[in-house]
Each structure stands twice: as structure tokens, then as C-alpha cells.
Chain A
Amino acid sequence: MIDLLQTLGTGILVGLVYALLGLCIVIIFKASEAFNFAIGEFLIIGSFLFYTLFFNETIPWYKALQLGTVIFIFFSFILFYDKNFRWRIALPLGITAGFLIYCFFFFGLKLSTLIASPILRFAVAFPLGLLAAGLVGAMVERVTIKPLLGRSPISMTIVTLGLGFLLRASVQLIWGSHSYPFFLDLPDITLEFGELLFLSDPIWAGILSLLIFSMVIVFLFRTRWGLAIRATSEDQAKAMAFGINARFILLIVWGISALCIAVAGIMISNFGALQVGMGFVGLRAIPVVLIGGMDSIGGALIGGILVGICEAAAGAYIEPLGLVGFKEVAPYLLLLIVLFIRPYGLFGTVRIERV
């Protein structure tokens, strides 16, 4: 009994992180009907950006220079350049942004010398890192997804596949492929009742994931921007006809998605170490969204928790029988079973049929 409770608890805590990953896929799928296969790469990029901020990591100048240049080009010509010739704003902005980011990578922010307390440092670095991740997501959207607006969602999905390889290679070039020790030094909130033991890190991961998850839901369902996003996700053409700038909405959705993925990435890195190969954890989002239903936000939460429990249960009960590594496969088996019973996932949209 104690065993079961322990497994359930651990599973739910990890599941909340998976739910956040699922949410990122779901909001992009709702907005553009494309599946974001680059989720793993967004995850490591977010984690690395946070790492750079939090641990004073710097990058040698010859790498930072390229990065600054690339970002300059992004900002000046792709983010702002359009038919209305906004390059007069774009050029100076691009130069400033490129230079700032160059400085950031080259000199580092030296947060640890500025702020001594680790919890305060986390409070500063966390939003900054998320913002940076969101910006990266938005930039990637501008370059790869915006030109495809109005085309088949399949082409967007294929683009994200290629994008994944590109981003992973870039991360490898900039930060290398060795693993970085990752220790957030958050206050210890380990829970212990009798024989039950929940470690501090998973609890923090669960709490923060749930917090971000609920913030995204509040944003989507209680604000006017959220309403515009929901309208756009139903039909881009209709939204544009009624004055909602579908292109900008897509940018925001990708930004939010990249931001949430970064949270999940930071939490997952906090369980162990950070390295490029960790991107494969992002693919755990596939069973999550397929079990929950591709277009259901609540489904992502339930799916995430189910996958987390399934993984923990497989690790606790089946792996000791000699099936080492079954933990990795178990969510996919669960996925197979769910799809046999409900092909649209547990909470896939009930299509409105007029009678």
C-alpha cells in the first residue's frame, strides 16, 4: 500500500511536468494544426538559456559573435521587414538586440556575484530565461511558420521536423555536447510522512509546472488575447477577416509554447544534468497529447498525469521482474491501448454537428 502511494505520488509529480509539455504541443496544434516535432530542441534551448543566466556560463567570443550576427539578421530583417518598409526601425533595433545578446553571452550576466541568495537569483533568472526562450520561439516562428500561414498543416509539421535537427545542431555548436551539472539550490521542501518520501526536486517541478499550466489556462480563457487565440485556432481566415492578426497570434502562441517548454526543460534538467541528448525527453509529449486528445487542454493535464503514473508504476512494479528499461516503453503501450478504445484520445474534441 505504501509502495502504491509512493509510486502514485511520484508519478503525479513527474506527470505534471509532462502535462506542461503536452500543453505546449496542444496550443500549437490548436492554433495552426501542426504538430511541433521540435519540442525536444525547444526544451534544451530553454534550459541552456536559463543555465547561461543562472550559472554565469559564458561562451568564447568566436561563437558569441556568430550568434550575435544571426540574431541581428533575425531581428532586423525577418521580424520587422515587411511591405511597409519598417527597416528604419528594424536596422537599429536589430543592431541593438544583436549587440546586447552578444554581450550577454560573451561577458555573462554574472548574476551570482550580483545576487547572493540562490532563491532570489532563481526568481530573477527564471523569468529572464523564460523570456529569452519565448523570444527564441517567436523568432523561429517568424522564420519557419509565418511563410506557411494558410498552407497545409502537414507542411508546417514537416518544417518542425527539419527545424528540430537544425536547432539541435546549433545548440551543440554553441554549448557543446558534454553534460553540464545542474543544481538549482531551491529551498528543501522534502515531504516525509511515515514511510512515504517525496523528494524536494520533483515537488518543486510539480508545483512550478502546475503554476505555469494554470497561468496559461487563465490567459487563454480569461483575457482578450486568449479569446483572440481561441478564435484564431478555430479558423485563421475568419479571424483575419474580423481584424485579428492571425500572423501575430501565431507568433504569440509559439512564444508561449517555447516558454512553457523551457519551464519543463529546466525542471527536467534539475532532476539530473543538462546536455544536448536530453532533447529526447521532449518526445514524451507525444503519448501525453495522443492519450489526452490532440486538441484538448484538459486532456493534456490528464494525459500527462497518466503517463507519469504509468512510467512510475512500470519502474516500481515491472522493472524489478527483470525487464530493465520497460519504463521507457510503458507510456507507449498505454497509448496503444487508449487509441484502440478511443481513436481521438480520451478528451478529443466532440465535433459540433448542427441538427
Chain B
Amino acid sequence: MLAVENLRVVYHDVISVLNGVSIEVKEREILIIIGANGAGKTTLLRAVSGMIDFYDGDIIEGDIKMEGNSIKGLDATDIMKRYGVTYVMEDRPVFWYLTIEENLKAASFSRWDKRVKADMEEVFDYFPVLGALRNKKAGYASGGEQQMLAIGMALMTKPRILLLDEPSLGLAPLVTEELFDIIKRLNASGITIVLVEQNAHASLNIGTRGYVFETGRIVLDGAAQELLENEDVREFYLGSGEKERKSYKDAKRYKRRKRWL
């Protein structure tokens, strides 16, 4: 469905963030992308969604294809309208000074038609909490509610691919669990999901496939279950594996093993 081919992204003309990344998203899957801070996960999502311009980044090499059509360099709104790629930014991207209902309306701006009202009710079905707060300013909602609202807003754009950037950021484990359940339900209803997460364990549990990023490259990929059992992932992202302290030498060994796509 969505294919990123050998993508290189540079910020401010000097800071190289993605150094040749190729990923493929298949229809109706939950793709998990994990990696340390600064590995380039968010940048990848920005590049795919067309927001990279806004952050003064440039795609200097490679291509992004949606069902065979190149979407590289298109406006964010064009990508969303034509190809149904919706990007939910990290840190709960809701409009604080608008009410929850207005937030949902604003998100449906790109496709204003008579079905907006019905879609809004559908969102309230997914997230009953929001229905109770519909006339409250979104800034006063709790973190979990805001994240749910953000996903609800993304739903209002009728996405085919949902790019979620760390939805569990700053949420309690229970809320995270609830959120991931909803993500699973959304996936079951036919939306392809690309999930960028720090919370490797929980996300790999709901995902179908996964990629591991490191300093702008993909070092590992495979089915989510395989990744969960992978010794390196267990060690570096899940914090389990062998309990004794590792020396730097072993960390290097891991680096040597990485795959260069």
C-alpha cells in the first residue's frame, strides 16, 4: 500500500536524520516502528505525511509511493485528501482553546459534507468519554482524553492509513492499554495503522510487523512476534533478556549485526 524507498531526509540543510530508509506498509496491518530517541521515527512520519516542509526538512533522496503514485513533495493537505494518509502528531495534537465538538469539526474541514454529524457520533461511540465532555474545552481534558480526542479527530478525516506518533506518551499503563485496544478495533474496521512507539512491549503485542530504527537506519525487521522474541530487541527495548550487566563490547557486537537496507 505505502512504500518508502531509500529515503534520506535532512533538516535545515545540514542535519541528516534519515539515511536511506525503506519500509513497506501492507494493507490492513498494524506496523510497529520502535527505536531510541533521535532515531528518526517521527521524521519518517513527517516525511510521509508531507509535514516535513513545515519543519524545514528536505527529502534529498528516495521516494514515497502510495499505491504506485509518488507522494513525495505534495502538500500535507493534498496527501490527506487524495490518499487518505492522516498523521497524528506526538504529544496530543488537539486544539486547546476549542471545545471537543469543535475540535472534531475542525478536523473534518478537508471533507465537509452531510455525513460529518454521523461520523462525529461514531467517534463518540468509539470514545464514550468524549461524548460526555463534548462542550468542554479540550485544554481542560485529561491526557488520556486528549489522546483519544486526537485519534477521534484523525478518524474524522476518514483515513485509510493512520500514522500514530507515540500515542502512549505520558499516559498511565491502564489508559495505554485501553488506547491500544481501540487501535486494534480501528484496525479491525479496515484502517491500516503505522504505530511509532517507545513502549515496545505493548505495541509489539498488538502489531503484525515491526521495524527497529537506529540513527536513521533500519536495523531489524520482521513479524512482531519474532521481534518480541529477538534477543537484541529484548535486551535494548524491552529491558529483559540476560540480567547481568552488559559491557560496551557487547553493544558493539549488536551494532555490527545490523542490517543495512
**Residues in chain A within 8 A of chain B (CB atoms):** 83-84, 149-151, 224, 227-228, 230-231, 234-245, 349, 352, 354
Check if B95 sits within 8 Å of A236, measured CB to CB: no
Whether a CB of chain A sits under 8 angstroms from the CB of B49 is: yes
**B98 in the interface, Cβ–Cβ < 8 Å?**
yes
Answer whether residue B81 sits at the interface, using C-beta atoms and an 8 A cutoff.
Answer: yes
Question: What is the bound-complex CA distance between A151 and B153, given in angstroms?
Answer: 26
Q: Are A242 and B107 in contact (CB under 8 A)?
A: yes
Q: Which of A236, A240, A244, A352 contacts B97 (CB 8 A)?
A: A352
Digitize B104-117: 1 where CB-to-A-CB distance is under 8 Å, 0 elsewhere: 01110111100000
User: B85-110 CB contact bits vs A (8 Å, 1 = yes)?
Assistant: 01111000111111000110111011
- Indicate if B22 sits at the interface (CB-CB under 8 A): no
B75–A242 CB distance below 8 A: no
A83 vs B71: C-alpha distance in the bound complex, in angstroms? 12
B75 lies within 8 A of A245 (CB)? yes
Judging by beta carbons under 8 Å apart, are A240 and B54 in contact? Answer: yes
Closest-CB distance, A39 to chain B (whole angstroms): 25
CB-nearest residue of chain B to A231: B106
Contact of B77 among A151, A230, A235, A243 (CB under 8 A): A243
Min CB–CB distance A154 → chain B (angstroms): 16
Q: B236 interface residue, CB < 8 Å from A? A: no
Distance of A241 Cα from B143 Cα, bound (Å): 19
Contact B80 A243 (CB under 8 A): yes
Q: Flag if B49 contacts A241 (CB, 8 Å).
A: yes
Q: Establish whether residues B98 and A234, one from each chain, have CB atoms under 8 Å apart when the complex forms.
A: yes
- B97 and A234 within 8 A (CB): yes
For A83, what are the chain B residues with a Cβ–Cβ distance below 8 Å?
73-74
> Which of A83, A84, A230, A241 has most B Cβ within 10 Å?
A241
Known interface pairs A228-B109, A241-B93, A354-B142; 11 further A-B residue pairs with C-beta atoms within 8 A, sorted by A's residue number = A150-B55, A230-B97, A231-B95, A234-B95, A237-B51, A239-B95, A241-B86, A243-B77, A243-B86, A243-B157, A244-B77
How close is B157's CB to chain A, nearest CB, in angstroms? 5
Number of A-B contacts (CB under 8 A): 96
Other-chain contact of B88, A227, A237, A241 (Cβ < 8 Å):
A241
A198 to B255, CA, bound (A): 83
Q: What's the Cα separation between A227 and B95 when bound, in Å? A: 11
The answer to whether B242 has its CB under 8 Å from any CB of chain A is no
Residue of chain A at shortest CB distance from B104: A242
- What is the bound-complex CA distance between A111 and B32, given in angstroms? 66
Determine if A236 and B109 form an interchain contact, defined as CB atoms under 8 angstroms apart.
no
B134 adjacent to chain A (CB < 8 Å): no
B254 within 8 A of A: no
User: For the complex, is B76 an interface residue (Cβ under 8 Å from A)?
Assistant: yes
Q: Contacts of B111 on A, CB cut-off 8 Å?
A: 243
Residues of B at the A interface (CB closer than 8 Å) are: 49, 51, 53-56, 73-77, 80-81, 86-89, 93-98, 102-103, 105-107, 109-112, 137, 139-140, 142-143, 153-154, 156-157
User: B109: which of A84, A150, A227, A352 is its contact (CB, 8 Å)?
Assistant: A227
Which one of B53, B54, B96 contacts A234 once the chains associate, using CB atoms below 8 Å? B96
Closest to A244 in B: B109
Q: How far is the CB of A228 from chain B (nearest CB, A)?
A: 5
Distance in angstroms between the alpha carbons of A230 and B98 in the assembled complex: 8
Shortest distance in angstroms between A302's beta carbon and chain B's nearest beta carbon? 20
Q: List 18 A-B contacts (CB under 8 A).
A: A150-B54, A150-B56, A224-B112, A231-B106, A234-B98, A238-B93, A238-B95, A240-B76, A241-B49, A241-B76, A241-B93, A242-B86, A242-B153, A242-B156, A243-B81, A243-B157, A352-B96, A352-B140
**A354: B residues at CB distance < 8 A:** 139-140, 142-143
Contact B139 A237 (CB under 8 A): no
Closest chain B CB from A313 CB (angstroms): 35
> How many angstroms between the C-alpha atoms of A149 and B76 in the bound complex?
14
Residues of A within 8 A of B154 (CB): 242
The closest CB in chain A to the CB of B110 belongs to A243
Which 6 residue pairs are nearest across A and B when measured between Cβ atoms?
A243-B110, A352-B139, A231-B106, A242-B107, A238-B93, A245-B77
A245 to B110, CA, bound (A): 8
A241-B49, A241-B89, A244-B109 known; A236 vs B54 contact (CB < 8 Å): yes
Q: A224-B109, A227-B105 are in contact. Are A241 and B98 (CB under 8 A)?
A: no
A238 touches B89 (CB 8 A): yes
B95-A235 in contact (CB<8A): yes
Q: Which residues of B contact A349 (CB under 8 A)?
A: 97
Q: What is the distance, in angstroms, from A257's C-beta to the closest C-beta of chain B?
A: 20
Measured between beta carbons, the chain B residues less than 8 angstroms from A231 are 95, 98, 102-103, 106, 109
B77/A240 in contact, CB under 8 A: yes
Q: Which residue of B lies closest to A225 (CB)?
A: B109
**Residue of B with least CB distance to A30:** B97
- Minimum CB–CB distance from B107 to chain A (whole Å) comes to 4
Q: Which of A150, A224, A241 contacts B105 (CB 8 A)?
A: A224
Across-interface contacts of B139 in A (CB, < 8 A): 352, 354
Q: Which residues of A contact B54 (CB under 8 A)?
A: 149-150, 236-237, 240
